[in-house]
């Protein structure tokens, strides 16, 4: 198991997330429109291609051996940019899915996401409702996208808050648009699903006629008060040792907030149902690490750290794989390096 891995050059779209199957010695890379399989010695084994949407953060499920990923199709600037990178002028419906990949079946390069039986997907109607729903700006005027929802990105497996010895669920984080004219976008929004329900609902996905099979609602929806960020949680990862849910983001732009690159929700603390700042509703609120409560605005704590947005994974020994994106000969790639994480001291690269 190498301390530094290289993804190889993977084209126009950058790395979105990593997932590691330690038992069998594999690592998976999400490069937006393709999933790449490698081993922990740095060799590339196969890939799944043909996606016209945004495959974001991915995670390996220990219970069923599958790789789960956030998958979105939308007509905003992000979706249009992906289609341009592919040279695809097609029309695709808005839709948000939990993709489920069978890593054992990924045995060669350029396998088809639609035709080779390696990927299924479960539709997430709650996300679509919020994406097409309405929020309000600072004047109270109705504006598109409830919670400023831009879709989904971060994904990991973690316990429910206050039950860290319990079952692991699939947590999926909203993308959130950066908008300084709104105050209904200062929370990270996290939906929690039972992976057994997602897996049972998952169907092969024909992207020109996308199915709508999936759980009507998440098991729970949680809110984390961090202040607005640029596109919400990019990568989500659970720190078993410290019972923290790490959220890597692109730093926000509202000057009233500290605008960190990384936050962590403390899952040792149960969620609190309470009125949500900037929103005319109550919700289940999580507490940030180091804060006195869910909406302790004076103690929004985080870390300034340049990596994590493109992929992170905690190994069973507590070491943390961090993706460091690079460009080589005009193509996107990344180095995956090992770090140590301490909530008080932050992140430190392991060189030994």
Q: What is the pLDDT of residue 352?
A: 63
Three-state secondary structure along 26-69?
EEEEECECCEEEEECCCCEEEEEECCCCEEEEEEECCCCCCEEE
Phi then psi dihedrals of residue 103, to 5 deg? -65, -30
How far apart, in whole angstroms, are the C-alpha atoms of residue 67 and residue 58?
Answer: 7
Predicted TM-score (pTM) of the model is 0.96
How far apart, in whole angstroms, are the C-alpha atoms of residue 244 and residue 283?
Answer: 20
* 3 state DSSP class of 86: helix
Report CA torsion sign: 213, 271, 253, 309. negative
Q: Which H or E element spans position 199? A: helix 195-201
Residue 148 φ/ψ region, left for φ over 0, alpha for ψ in the -120 to 50 degree band, beta for the rest: left
* 3 state DSSP class of 352: coil
Residue (of 195, 198, 176, 171) closest to 187 by Cα position? 176
Quick: pLDDT tens for 146-194.
999 999 999 999 999 999 999 999 999 999 999 999 999 999 999 999 9
Q: What is the pLDDT of residue 149?
A: 97
DSSP code of 89? -
Top CATH class, 4-349 = mainly beta
Contact 64, 167 (CB under 8 A): no
Q: What is the pLDDT of residue 293?
A: 85
Kindly state the tokens that stand for 115. Answer: 């035709």
Kindly state the tokens that stand for 162. Answer: 């206050």
Contact 260, 304 (CB under 8 A): yes
Query: What ranges do the domains of the chain cover?
Result: 4-349
Kindly state the tokens that stand for 23. Answer: 């038992």
How far apart, in whole angstroms, are the C-alpha atoms of residue 119 and residue 205?
Answer: 8
Quick: pLDDT tens for 337-346.
999 999 999 9
Per residue of the chain (352 residues), give pLDDT as tens: 578 999 999 999 999 999 999 999 999 999 999 999 999 999 999 999 999 999 999 999 999 999 999 999 998 888 888 888 888 878 899 999 999 999 999 999 999 999 999 999 999 999 999 999 999 999 999 999 999 999 999 999 999 999 999 999 999 999 999 999 999 999 999 999 999 999 999 999 999 999 999 999 999 999 999 999 999 999 999 999 999 999 999 999 999 999 999 999 999 999 999 999 999 999 999 999 999 888 887 789 999 999 999 999 999 999 999 999 999 999 999 999 999 999 999 999 987 6
């Amino acid at each position: 198991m190498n301390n530094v891995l290289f993804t190889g050059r993977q084209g126009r779209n950058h790395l979105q997330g990593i997932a590691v199957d330690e038992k069998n010695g594999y690592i998976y890379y999400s490069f937006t429109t393709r999933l790449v399989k490698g081993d922990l010695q740095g060799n590339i084994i196969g890939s799944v291609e043909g996606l016209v949407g945004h495959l974001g953060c991915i995670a390996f499920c220990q219970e069923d051996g599958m790789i789960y990923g956030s998958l979105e199709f939308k007509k905003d600037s992000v979706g249009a940019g992906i289609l341009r990178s592919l040279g695809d002028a097609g029309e695709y419906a808005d839709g948000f899915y939990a993709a489920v990949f069978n890593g054992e079946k990924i045995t060669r390069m350029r396998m088809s996401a639609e035709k080779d039986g390696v990927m299924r997907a479960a539709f997430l109607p709650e996300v679509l409702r919020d994406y097409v729903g309405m929020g309000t700006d600072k004047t109270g005027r109705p504006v598109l996208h409830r919670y400023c929802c831009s879709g989904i990105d971060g994904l990991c497996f973690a316990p429910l808050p206050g039950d860290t010895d319990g079952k692991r669920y699939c947590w999926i984080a909203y993308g959130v648009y950066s908008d300084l004219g709104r105050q209904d976008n200062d929370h990270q929004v996290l939906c929690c699903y039972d992976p057994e329900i997602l897996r049972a609902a998952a169907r092969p996905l024909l992207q020109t006629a996308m199915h709508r099979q999936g759980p009507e609602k998440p098991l729970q929806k949680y809110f984390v008060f961090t202040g607005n960020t640029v596109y919400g949680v990019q990568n989500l990862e659970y720190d078993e040792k410290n019972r923290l849910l790490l959220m890597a983001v692109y730093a926000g732009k509202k000057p009233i907030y500290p605008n960190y690159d990384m936050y962590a929700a403390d899952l040792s603390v149960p969620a609190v149902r309470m009125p949500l700042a900037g929103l005319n509703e109550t919700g289940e609120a999580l507490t940030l690490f180091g804060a006195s409560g869910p909406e302790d605005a004076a103690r929004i704590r985080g870390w300034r750290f340049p990596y994590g947005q493109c992929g992170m994974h905690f190994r069973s020994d507590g070491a943390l794989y961090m993706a460091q994106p690079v460009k080589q000969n005009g193509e996107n790639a990344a180095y995956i390096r090992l770090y140590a994480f301490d909530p008080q001291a932050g992140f430190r690269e392991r060189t030994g």
